[in-house]
């Protein structure tokens, strides 16, 4: 186990105690398994955290030894998949420790973490302050792949050492966020009898805008109890549904469309929204929400002061005046990206990914696969989420068409059914406009249309068919393909599905890599324009298991650019990115050079139907068993960005 070590600073005894509490709460809140091992680790560092930071240096040997014991247990497991998963959890624990320490870097004196030899022959520290823990003989197969990953646990073939490295951010760096522990902050407020005021996202204009305020509205930040008095505010009123959220003056219909999808799966909803929160029991003016961000779930803490004008919420609100879960979630999401203004404009798939950890596939309905209907029903069975839209020029944004649909607007797809209509069995799709008003489809199968006469009342009741100006409507699959242009399918992350759903279910096999295009090193540009430098781009090797007679594997591959929305205030735009896939014939795992790419044509290259506003490019691909090379690249050489490569496959994939 190798940890790239730097010097971290702790201000004083009090800040060090808080540091340790935050660390252990972060571990326990995330539900890391093997609590008996964690308990030993906790006890070694003294449970009440009443120690000086100088004393902690003495504890590092025991910490390293515990990490070694954990790695040894998992490396001897016969279940390769489960063992690798647990090894990655160890990496996450150590990463959390380092991440919290870095936040203290600006304060006081420094001490070196894991800077001395541990006295264990299996544990050593080299001259670069890198900790190596050599594992005993292991049942896990060695991996020869060369990955550039953020804390990706891997087993190199040499010396049987587990290595964990931290990837550096290239290009413009996102603002650093302070670590805030919800439980500790809430308890502190309760003890002092004060309501929480978030210093990291204050009730000021800079939390609303990243430039000057665009309106002359007199904004006043109020807590829910001040907004609805004399009524009592509720976090959730009579459960939650896709009809709960109403858009305000912010251009985040894409976020509302995603929230409508989120409410359809209560288990995943409660992963994002803590159901225990309320305005009554132990109320302290503090709330928190969890979002997926670049492969990791982060907990975002906020106070409940909301921007209002004349006593009314100016942004997202609930359809019930005294319900506030949606307004508070929007605030937490705005904090994640720096301001409310940062949420202006987006795609529903982006928010759905941040709520579920899924991978989005975007289908051009004008060039859709012949078996699209089958793909959709299969995706529903696997717990996927859907969105759709109609392209628009800037001057056409939110323009209403004669058929009732809105151009440049994000819709959510909330259900699919097959019914007997006037022309026999007909596939129907239920769609919701997040505005929740009368802006609905007015064609066949719309509210109150003649086609519904052929459907029995009990079936309509099950389908929740009502003639109501609520923004929700049904339309035939054929009309859907004709009138909409983009379909977004967010395929569920199987780890989230396993956590949120009991019992068996269909799921994907997932591989994740983290990397970067770094100017002068790994930013080689596209193959056609920059063939001489193309080989500099990051390269990822995958192996699809099976023999030549087996069927093709279905893969969904996505390249996600990191930190683009967080950097909107610096006018940092998303780059035009693509990826190419090459077939390898000789089972060679070395990095390919210019000669290879000059002689070899890709078996697949993602197209450019994507707008620059997409943070992620993805494609559905069918490949025969064999060894392949995936090369992500930017449209121009020397462009810098951090990225995340994800591969969802329907079969066994090695990398």
Average pLDDT score over residue span 143-155:
29
Average pLDDT score over residue span 174-189:
88
Report d(CA 240, CA 255) in Å as an integer: 16
Instruction: Please write the tens of the pLDDT for every residue from 594-610.
Output: 999 999 999 999 876 55
Q: pLDDT band at 80, cuts 50/70/90?
A: low
Report d(CA 405, CA 247) in Å as an integer: 17
Tokens coding 539 = 């390269």
Instruction: Please write the tens of the pLDDT for every residue from 459-501.
Output: 999 998 988 888 899 999 999 999 999 999 999 887 775 656 5
Residues 6 or more apart whose CB falls under 8 angstroms from that of 79 comprise none
> What separation in angstroms does the CA of 99 have from each of 9, 19, 40, 92, 166?
12, 11, 22, 10, 10
In terms of pLDDT, which residue wins out, 523 or 20?
Answer: 523
Q: pLDDT band at 86, cuts 50/70/90?
A: low
Does 325 have pLDDT greater than 60?
A: yes
Q: pLDDT band at 578, cuts 50/70/90?
A: very high
Strand order of the β-sheet with 653-654 is 604-605, 577-584, 626-634, 540-544, 653-654
Report d(CA 460, CA 243) in Å as an integer: 19
In this prediction, residue 63 carries a pLDDT of: 52
Report d(CA 48, CA 17) in Å as an integer: 8
In the chain, the domains with their CATH numbers are 7-133 (no CATH), 215-337 (no CATH), 359-491 (3.90.70.10), 508-654 (2.60.120.380)
Tokens coding 450 = 């003649």
**First CA to last CA across the chain, in angstroms?**
20
Average pLDDT score over residue span 419-437:
90
Angle at Cα 511 formed by Cα 289 and Cα 138, nearest 5°?
A: 110
Strand order of the β-sheet with 306-309 is 220-222, 306-309, 312-313
Please say whether the beta carbons of 612 and 634 come within 8 A.
no
In this prediction, residue 397 carries a pLDDT of: 75
> Looking up tokens 């007997």, which residue turns up?
420
**Which is nearest to 171 in space by CA: 486, 643, 621?**
643
**Which is nearest to 125 in space by CA: 290, 267, 4?**
4
Report d(CA 401, CA 381) in Å as an integer: 33
- The pTM of this model reads 0.71
Report d(CA 177, CA 121) in Å as an integer: 38
In terms of pLDDT, which residue wins out, 193 or 173?
Answer: 193
- Does residue 230 have a cis peptide bond before it, meaning omega lies within 30 degrees of 0? yes
Residues acting as catalytic residues: 253, 409, 433
Does 644 have pLDDT greater than 60?
A: yes
> Looking up tokens 């339309």, which residue turns up?
475
CA dihedral 211, 216, 221, 222 (to 10 degrees): -150
Average pLDDT score over residue span 45-52:
38
Q: pLDDT band at 327, cuts 50/70/90?
A: very high
In this prediction, residue 100 carries a pLDDT of: 45
The most confident of 126-135, 159-168, 292-301, by mean pLDDT: 292-301
H-helix segments, 300-347: 325-337
In this prediction, residue 74 carries a pLDDT of: 53
Helix (H) or strand (E) holding 629: strand 626-634
In this prediction, residue 102 carries a pLDDT of: 46
Q: Where on the phi/psi map is residue 116: left (φ > 0), alpha (ψ -120 to 50), or beta?
A: beta
In this prediction, residue 184 carries a pLDDT of: 92
Instruction: Please write the tens of the pLDDT for every residue from 333-350.
Output: 999 999 999 999 888 889
Indicate the SS3 state at residue 638. coil
């Amino acid at each position: 186990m190798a940890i790239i070590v730097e010097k971290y600073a702790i201000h004083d005894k009090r800040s060090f105690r808080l540091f340790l509490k935050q660390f252990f709460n972060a571990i326990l809140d995330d539900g890391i398994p093997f609590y008996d091992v964690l308990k030993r680790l906790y006890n070694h560092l003294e449970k009440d955290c009443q120690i000086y930071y100088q004393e902690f240096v003495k504890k590092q040997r025991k910490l390293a030894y515990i990490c070694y014991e954990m790695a040894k247990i998992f490396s001897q497991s016969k279940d390769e998949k489960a063992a690798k998963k647990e090894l990655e959890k160890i990496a996450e624990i150590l990463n959390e420790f380092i991440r919290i320490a870095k936040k203290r870097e600006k304060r006081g004196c420094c001490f070196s973490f894991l800077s001395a030899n541990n006295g264990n022959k299996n544990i050593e520290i080299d001259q670069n302050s890198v900790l190596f823990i050599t594992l005993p003989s292991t049942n896990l197969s060695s991996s020869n792949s060369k990955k550039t990953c953020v804390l990706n646990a891997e087993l190199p073939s040499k010396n049987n050492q587990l290595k964990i490295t931290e990837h550096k951010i290239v290009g413009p760096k996102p603002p650093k966020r302070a670590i805030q522990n919800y439980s500790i902050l809430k308890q502190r407020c309760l003890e002092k009898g004060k309501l929480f005021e978030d210093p990291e996202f204050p009730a000021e204009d800079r939390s609303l805008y990243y430039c000057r305020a665009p309106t002359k509205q007199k904004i006043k930040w109020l807590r829910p109890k001040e907004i609805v008095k004399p009524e009592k505010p509720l976090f959730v009123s009579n459960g939650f549904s896709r009809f709960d959220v109403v858009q305000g003056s912010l251009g985040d219909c894409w976020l509302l469309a995603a929230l409508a999808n989120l409410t359809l799966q209560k288990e995943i909803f409660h992963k994002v929204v803590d159901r225990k929160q309320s305005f009554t029991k132990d109320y302290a003016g503090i709330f928190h929400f969890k979002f997926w961000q670049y492969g990791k779930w982060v907990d975002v803490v906020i106070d409940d002061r909301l921007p209002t004008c004349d006593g009314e919420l100016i942004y997202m609100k609930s359809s019930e005046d005294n319900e506030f879960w949606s307004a508070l979630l929007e605030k937490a999401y705005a904090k994640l990206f720096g301001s409310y203004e940062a949420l202006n404009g987006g795609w529903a798939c982006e928010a759905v990914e941040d709520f579920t950890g899924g991978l989005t596939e975007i289908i051009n309905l004008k060039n859709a696969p012949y078996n699209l209907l089958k793909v959709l029903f299969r995706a529903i069975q696997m717990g996927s989420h859907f969105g759709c839209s109609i392209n628009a020029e800037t001057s056409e944004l939110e323009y209403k068409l004669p058929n009732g649909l809105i151009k440049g607007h994000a819709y959510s797809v909330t259900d699919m059914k097959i019914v007997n209509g006037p022309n026999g069995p007909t596939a129907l799709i239920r769609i919701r406009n997040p505005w929740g008003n009368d802006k609905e489809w007015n064609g066949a199968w719309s509210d109150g249309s003649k086609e519904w006469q052929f459907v029995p009342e009990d079936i309509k009741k099950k389908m929740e068919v009502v003639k109501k100006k609520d923004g929700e409507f049904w339309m035939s699959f054929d009309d859907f393909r004709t009138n909409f242009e983009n379909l977004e399918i967010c395929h569920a992350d199987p780890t989230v599905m396993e956590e949120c759903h009991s019992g068996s279910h269909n799921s994907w096999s997932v591989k994740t890599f983290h990397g970067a295009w770094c100017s002068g090193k790994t930013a080689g540009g596209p193959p056609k324009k920059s063939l001489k430098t193309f080989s500099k781009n990051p390269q990822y090797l995958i192996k699809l298991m099976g023999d030549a007679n087996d069927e093709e594997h279905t893969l969904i591959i996505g390249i996600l650019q990191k930190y683009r929305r967080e950097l909107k205030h610096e006018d940092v735009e998303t780059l035009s990115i693509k990826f190419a896939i090459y077939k390898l014939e000789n089972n060679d795992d070395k990095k390919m050079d210019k000669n290879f790419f000059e002689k070899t044509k890709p078996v697949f290259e993602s197209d450019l139907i994507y707008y620059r506003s997409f943070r992620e490019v993805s494609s559905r691909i069918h490949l025969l068993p064999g060894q392949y090379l995936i090369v992500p690249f930017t449209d121009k050489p020397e462009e810098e960005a951090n990225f995340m490569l994800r591969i969802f496959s329907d079969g066994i994939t090695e990398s």
